[in-house]
Amino acid sequence: MFLVDLLFPNRCLECNRIIHHNEVVCELCFDQINFTHHHFSESNLLTEKCRLLFPIENAFALMQFEEESTSQKIIHQLKYGGREKIGKIISNWTLEKIDLRKSKIDLLVTIPLHPTKQKERGYNQLHLFADTLSKGLKIPCDHSLIKRNFYKKAQAQKRREQRTFNENLFSITKNISNQHILLIDDVFTTGNTMSAVAWQILKEGNNKVSVLVMAID
């Protein structure tokens, strides 16, 4: 055991028990996580929500994102607590619960942060998550296909009358066609951000879109 583990032991985000440095919650609290049990190839709540906004092939959310829930605490630590390695943990949970081998996904694509935002945070919370998925699924991943054009705007644009703004929120950085893209994000809330990215991809060529998120609100 490293000295840092003795001086600053890793603790469960839920109950504060000392746990292995590669874990985020203890076994007892892991059992309390509200996993969705979605099947990627079957219709589910996320699929239905996405279909109200854009054409979609399949969708999967790993967890329910509820106020004061364990899943909320985990994702908040990933995004705001400087714990980028949690992305790998969530990715391994995802790989254990879904099988994408028959889905014919061509490319994994992450929702980008604005460069200024990413510099402030120090990392994009989706990159390690997606890279771990990419390695496990043997499907390439592209973090640069989508560019965010505005800073600190996405979460402010929630009303339908602001759709025009959302259509310009992202842009494609390279030509893509005849690709089945799996869009990856952390939490699906209103779906406005995901929809803005999906439409950019769909209008580029004969592309198809599926969605995978860590949690659905």
CATH classification at residue 81? 3.40.50.2020
Do 172 and 111 have their domain in common?
yes
- What integer pLDDT is reported at residue 155 of this predicted model? 46
Do 79 and 47 have their domain in common?
yes
Do 8 and 43 have their domain in common?
no
Q: Are 39 and 98 in contact (CB under 8 A)?
A: yes
Do 26 and 128 have their domain in common?
no
Do 23 and 120 have their domain in common?
no
Place of tokens 């604005």: 114
Q: In whole angstroms, what is the distance from residue 212 CA to residue 184 CA?
A: 5
31 Cβ contact partners less than 8 Å away, ≥ 6 residues apart:
none
- What integer pLDDT is reported at residue 152 of this predicted model? 61
Do 41 and 28 have their domain in common?
no
Do 58 and 107 have their domain in common?
yes
Q: Which domain holds residue 47?
A: 35-216
**Cα dist from 107 to 1, 45, 92, 174, 179, whole Å:** 39, 23, 18, 14, 7
Do 6 and 74 have their domain in common?
no
- What integer pLDDT is reported at residue 151 of this predicted model? 78
- What integer pLDDT is reported at residue 168 of this predicted model? 81
H or E element that contains 87: helix 86-97
Do 113 and 202 have their domain in common?
yes
Angle formed at CA 41 by CA 38 and CA 47, multiple of 5 degrees? 65
- Count Cα neighbours of 182 within 13 Å in the Cβ-side half-sphere: 25
| Total count of domains within the chain | 2
- What integer pLDDT is reported at residue 166 of this predicted model? 62
Per-residue pLDDT of the chain (217 residues; tens, 9 = 90+): 455 555 578 999 999 999 998 899 999 999 999 999 898 888 999 999 999 999 999 999 999 999 999 999 999 999 999 999 999 999 999 999 988 877 899 999 999 999 898 999 999 999 999 999 999 999 999 999 999 998 764 444 445 445 455 668 899 999 999 999 999 999 999 999 999 999 999 998 899 999 999 999 9
Do 114 and 10 have their domain in common?
no
- What integer pLDDT is reported at residue 99 of this predicted model? 81
Do 4 and 47 have their domain in common?
no
For 103, the token pair is 């889905």
Do 155 and 169 have their domain in common?
yes
- What integer pLDDT is reported at residue 161 of this predicted model? 45
